[in-house]
């Protein structure tokens, strides 16, 4: 089956499943009126998440906080939506990598050769960080004693967002490189798992963290920017899926009506993001996103 036909078939299947879920509800009109707008929110969050390597929680957390969701519902619902958007983005970036390799393997290996190794070094530590934070008493104690507990989510999110924005903006000059690293060095074998584990812990608490940290590290280390974003997106997809069962089975804090609409938007945004990265200057995207995250972080701090 031609590629275009396969894409149309997947799109038709997605629309059919989504429509079935929506119209199987008893209060379709009320759902569309109250939650339809979340489709747009999901698109925006997923586009930024999959185009920059920063998790969609950067969009969802402050938006849900504005709507007065509880801290648990903010994080849980953000995870559920990101499972849709980051998975779509991960599949899109993986297919792009495979297509590029078939077209020009030498060029792809020189710029994207580190992608499989980077994922091998980061996925498992990130999952361990999530599980440590969610299921162990030490993780809960760390959340309570260091970050002040779930009630302090807005402040922690604001501080982390400001630090993230500064790191993103500071990495922009490094994107002008014409020659990129293609092989991980010995220090990367130590640093990447460490960053991924800590990022997994942070992600479990805030629904953002690991993708951003790993992407910024790879860019600073001199790897191809697009490859670094792809690693962050694929890693984030694994991470958010590992975090979701806790909120389905333990916290029961997911707002499913929001996920139905925002999740559908996130899938569309996850597919669209690759084209945004390839069509526009990565430096411009990073600058805009860095400034925007900085603004969101500052306004989340208790000084406002």
CA 212 – CA 170 distance, rounded (Å): 13
How far does the chain reach from its first CA to its final CA, in angstroms?
Answer: 55
pLDDT band at 142 (very low <50, low <70, confident <90, very high): confident
**Dihedral sign computed on CA atoms, order 21, 25, 28, 31:** negative
Instruction: State which of 32-36, 41-45, 154-158, 192-196 shows the largest mean pLDDT.
Output: 192-196
Q: Would you place residue 291 in the very low, low, confident or very high pLDDT band (cuts 50, 70, 90)?
A: confident
Beta bridge partners, 181, equal 223
The pLDDT of residue 253 is 93
What is the C-alpha separation between 8 and 290, in angstroms, rounded? Answer: 34
In this predicted model, what pLDDT tens digit does every residue of 209-264 receive, in sequence order? 898 889 888 888 888 878 888 899 999 999 999 999 999 999 999 999 899 899 88
What are the CA-CA distances from residue 134 to residues 118, 139, 231 (Å)? 24, 7, 24
Residues 50 and 285: beta-carbon distance below 8 Å? no
CA 195 – CA 192 distance, rounded (Å): 5
Q: Of residues 229 and 110, which shows the higher confidence score?
A: 229
Least confident among 50-64, 81-95, 122-136, 224-238: 50-64
**Percent of the chain clearing pLDDT 90 (strictly above):** 23
- Amino acid 212: pLDDT: 82
Of the pLDDT bands very low, low, confident and very high (cuts 50, 70, 90), residue 165 is confident
Tens digits of residue pLDDT in 72-105 = 899 999 999 999 888 888 888 888 888 877 776 6
Q: Measured between alpha carbons, how far is 211 from 187 in angstroms, rounded to an integer?
A: 19
pLDDT (average), residues 268-276: 77
CA distances from 65 to 142, 154, 243, 266 (A): 23, 8, 20, 19
Burial class (CB in 10 A: 0-12, 13-18, 19+), 100: middle
Q: What are the beta bridge partners of residue 38?
A: none
Given pLDDT bands bounded at 50, 70 and 90, which one contains residue 177? low
**C-beta of residue 198 within 8 angstroms of C-beta of residue 180:** no
**CA–CA separation, 179 and 181 (whole Å):** 7
Q: Residue 179 has what pLDDT? A: 62
Kindly report which listed range (67-76, 108-117, 233-242, 273-282) carries the lowest average pLDDT score.
273-282
Q: Between the ranges 51-65, 129-143, 190-204, 275-289, where is the mean pLDDT highest?
A: 190-204
Interval 113-131 mean pLDDT: 94
Higher model confidence: residue 304 or residue 54?
A: 54
Tens digits of per-residue pLDDT, 189-210? 999 999 999 999 989 988 888 9
Token pair 């059919």 is found at 16
Would the pLDDT of 127 be above 70? yes
Q: What is the CA radius of gyration of the chain?
A: 19
Q: Which of 211, 208, 216, 213 is nearest to 169 (CA)?
A: 216
- Predicted confidence at residue 132, as pLDDT, reads 94
Q: How far is CA 265 from CA 47, 260, 301, in A?
A: 10, 9, 28
**Side-chain half-sphere exposure of 116, counting CA atoms within 13 A:** 6
Which pLDDT score, from 0 to 100, does residue 147 have?
67
Section 124-131 average pLDDT: 96
241: which 2 tokens? 């899926």
Task: Kindly list the distances between the CA atom of residue 245 and the CA atoms of 24, 55, 84, in Å, as whole numbers in the listed order.
Answer: 24, 18, 14
Tokens of 46: 């997923």
In this prediction the pTM is 0.84
């Amino acid at each position: 089956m031609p590629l275009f036909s396969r894409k149309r078939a997947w799109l038709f299947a997605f629309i059919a499943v989504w429509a079935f879920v929506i119209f199987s509800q008893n209060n379709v009109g009320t759902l569309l009126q109250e939650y339809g707008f979340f489709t747009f929110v999901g698109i925006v969050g997923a586009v930024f998440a999959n185009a920059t390597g920063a998790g969609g929680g950067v969009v969802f957390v402050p938006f849900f906080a504005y709507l007065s969701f509880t801290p648990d519902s903010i994080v849980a619902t953000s995870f559920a939506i990101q499972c849709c958007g980051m998975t779509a983005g991960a599949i899109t970036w993986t297919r792009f990598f495979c297509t590029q390799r078939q077209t020009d393997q030498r060029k792809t290996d020189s710029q994207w050769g580190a992608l499989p190794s980077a994922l091998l070094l980061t996925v498992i530590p990130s999952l361990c960080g999530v599980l440590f934070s969610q299921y162990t008493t030490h993780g809960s104690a760390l959340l309570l004693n260091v970050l002040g507990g779930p009630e302090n989510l807005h402040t922690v999110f604001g501080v982390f967002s400001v630090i993230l924005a500064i790191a993103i903006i500071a990495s922009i000059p490094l994107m002008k490189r014409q020659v990129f690293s293609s092989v991980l060095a010995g220090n990367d074998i130590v640093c990447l798992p460490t960053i991924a584990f800590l990022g997994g812990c942070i992600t479990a608490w805030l629904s953002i963290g690991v993708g951003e940290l790993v992407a910024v590290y790879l860019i600073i280390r001199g790897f191809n920017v697009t490859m670094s974003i792809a690693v962050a997106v694929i890693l984030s997809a694994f991470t958010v899926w590992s975090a979701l069962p806790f909120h389905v089975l333990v916290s029961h804090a997911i707002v499913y009506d929001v996920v139905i609409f925002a999740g559908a938007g996130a899938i569309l945004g996850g597919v669209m993001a690759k084209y945004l990265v390839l069509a526009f200057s990565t430096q411009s995207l990073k600058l805009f996103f860095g400034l925007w995250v900085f603004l969101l972080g500052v306004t989340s701090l208790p000084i406002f």
